[in-house]
Structures are given as C-alpha cells and as structure tokens.
A = this chain, B = another copy of it.
Amino acid sequence: MNPTTYRTLDAAAIRALVAGLPAIASRLGGPPAQWRVREVSDGNLNNVFLVGGVKGEVCLKQALPHVRVDPTWKMPLDRTFFESEWLRAVQPLAPGLTTEFLHYDPELYVLIVESLSGHTVLRTALMQGARWPGVALRIGTFVAHASFGTSLLARPFEDVFTARRLFSANLALTRITLDLVLDDPYRDHPRNHWHDPALTPIVLDIRSSAATLLAVENLRRRFLSQPQALLHGDLHTGSIMSTADDTRVIDGEFAVYGPIGFDCGMFVGNLVLHYFATPDNAGRQATLHDIAAFWHSFHEEFLTLWTSHETPPPGTLRPLAYGPAARVARQRFMNEIMADTIGFAGVEIIRRIIGYAHTADFDIIADPRQRAACRAGALGFAYHVLEHLDEIRTMADFLRHLAEQGRAGLHEPR
C-alpha cells in the first residue's frame, strides 16, 4: 500500500476519478455530476460500484485493506493488481467470455471494467430457477481457451515462466485458498462452522478417513506444484454473470498458475451444491446435464486447440510425435485434468458446507430439516468422492454417483 495516495473511494471520489479518464468519461456520457454511482458489493472482499451516465455504464472495483465482511482480517491491496493482470491475460484468449478491461489504477488499487448491468450472478440465477444450458458450455469454452492459451502448449516457456513469476506473488490470496479450501475443513478451526447437527457425524467421518485425508494432501500438493496454466482460482457460480445467451467470467483476483482441473473442479463443485439444493427432480436432471456439458465442451475445445493446427501449436511443448501413441498421451493428460476436476470439486463442496465461506444455494429451502438433509447429501457425496477417488475414473462415473446419492437423499454416516 502506498499510504500517501491510497484511500477508500466514496461516490464523490469515484466521480472525480472517472472524470479524469477521458475514454471512460465519454463512454458514460453527460456531465460527471449527473452520473449515478451505485454500490453493488455482495462478495466478501472488495467494494464494487456501477457508475452510469446517459450513454453507458462501467463497473469499478476497489480493494480494501481488509476483508470487506470482516475488517479485523487484514489483506493486501494488490489483489486488484492480480485481477487486472488476469483479465488482461485471458480477455484476448477468450473473447466475449470476460468483461472488457478498461483501466487499472495502481495507487488506488482500482480496476474499471465494462458493466454487465443486464446480467445476473449465475448462482442467483440458478436459485431463481434459470435453465440456461448454454452457460456450462460457455464456461467449458472459457476454461479451455484461458488454460490452453497460458500453458506451455501454446507459449514459449520463457513467457510462461515470466507469467508464473508475476502471479506467484499473489501469496495472500493463494494462502486463503490453501487454508479455507484445502486445510481448515479437515481439522478443528474457529473459521469452520455449520449449524445443522446432522452434519457433525459426517464431518467426524471425513476427518478420520485416511483415504480422504490423503486425497486432500495430494490435491494440496497438486494445487501448489502443477503450474499448468493460469487459473481463475475462484471459479464458482458467484464469479460468473450471465444472461441466457451471454456469459462472463468476473473476479479473477485469486489468479495463480496451477492445475487446470482446479478451475474445472471449482465450477463443477458449485454446480453440485446447486444440484443438492434443487428440490425437484427435473431441476436436478438439468444440473447433471450442465456438468456433463461443461466437461464435454472443455475437453473437446482443449483438444481441438491442441491438435487442430496445420502446424503444431507454437509453445515449448510442441509435439515431437504424432499418430495413435500421441493420441494416447494426450488422453492421459486430459485424464489427469479430469481426476483433478473430480478431486477439487470434492474439496470445494466440503468447504462450502462446513468451512468459512458458505454459499447461498441452500437458502432456497424453507424447511430447516430439509435444508440440513440437502446439505448432508452434498457433504456425504463429496466425502464419498474423495474417499473413492481412485475408483471414480471418469466424469460419467462421477455423474452416476451423483445421481445415485441425489436419489438416496440423506447421507447415513458410516
């Protein structure tokens, strides 16, 4: 933090800041005094505002020196820098699937992007019953392009090492992922919480299952030691805004190089949470389809990028061999991503139910006993997945288990 210039901006200060940025000011139109400034912060970490004029609107995000919802939890401001770098890296790779980058202020830690005022946060849309089959497909496309394009398959290793260096300075947010996703839930920690006593026996089972704990150890190692591609790092359904036809990934402040299956797993895990929160069978079926569609689209597009070139891709890892053996090798790589996807989906589900940061999905269930049962179903499913990770070898296996546990309802602690 530069103490001489950083200050938390209010509506007047935002107006003044944007007024000094001619390209953005003219995008809004009209005199600054008439711009509407609306706070829309609903996440845990940052202040977010929409600034609208007669012609257009932009979205302004500013880091606070602490967690927005907990001022005692200090946090470095530079997370907005990493979000801005993430956006600049992936926007050209996945056109139309992120917001447009407009401005970054390194002293105020302010990022300005296009406003998505007609879009809804995907988690909210799902809770309202939206059925948008295109979203999962587009997120598959997004992950395929963003990960392939920042990997050694597409770029000389010098570029990749340089990008890794930049994002591996994102220590504070990587620490949060490690602690909240891959550590706290597996031990007694004051940040964990759950209200429903029905969950406690499952939590105790999870914490005493050697197979589960070893799976988590392995995922932790992979998260920190497989810098395959630039990850979004927090690709849950709250980091996606969408309409039926247009889907955007936002909020890349957790960006870090890591295993591609981490992003896939976050997204799948959050669809599974929605699945267990959905009361009706038709809704659940739709979510099963979304997960399958996401994986299929990611898998196909990634392989297409890898193989469709007349000439080999320009990265350091250009192929040396072709033909059937090369196909097998590529499939092995995709299977590794799939295994990571399944594993990271498991830990994401668990931490969203018993860790620090829960999700709203289950709030649509009015009856507390039914809500507890649905949470227990999700938690038991994730436990089952992590405990049997070696046996769940394909996305089809994963979906079959999900459909079964979804039918079975309440988890019976073993």
Contact = CB atoms under 8 A, between A and B. Distances in A.
A171 interface: yes
A83 B57 CA distance: 53
A174 B152 contact: no
The 4 closest A-B pairs by CB, nearest first: A213-B321, A210-B325, A213-B320, A161-B168
A211 interface: yes
A77 to B, nearest CB: 18
Interface stretch (A5-13, A15-23, A224-232): A224-232
Contacts of A161: 168-169, 171, 174
Contact of A165 (B165, B214, B321): B165
Interface in A272-309: none
Contacts of A325: 210-211, 214
A221 interface: yes
B217 A186 contact: no
A410 to B, nearest CB: 27
A224 B165 CA distance: 13
Contacts of A321: 210, 213-214, 217
Q: Which of A152, A157, A186, A216 has the most chain B CB atoms closer than 10 A to its own CB?
A: A157
B178 A316 contact: yes
A158 B173 CA distance: 11
Chain A at the B interface: SS class: helix
Range for the number of chain A residues in contact with chain B: 35 or more
B186 A320 contact: yes
A189 interface: no
Contacts of A186: 320
29 contacts: A152-B221, A157-B174, A157-B178, A158-B171, A158-B175, A161-B169, A162-B171, A164-B165, A164-B168, A165-B165, A165-B168, A165-B169, A178-B316, A186-B320, A210-B326, A211-B325, A213-B320, A213-B321, A214-B320, A214-B321, A214-B329, A217-B319, A217-B321, A217-B329, A218-B329, A220-B317, A221-B317, A225-B226, A227-B227
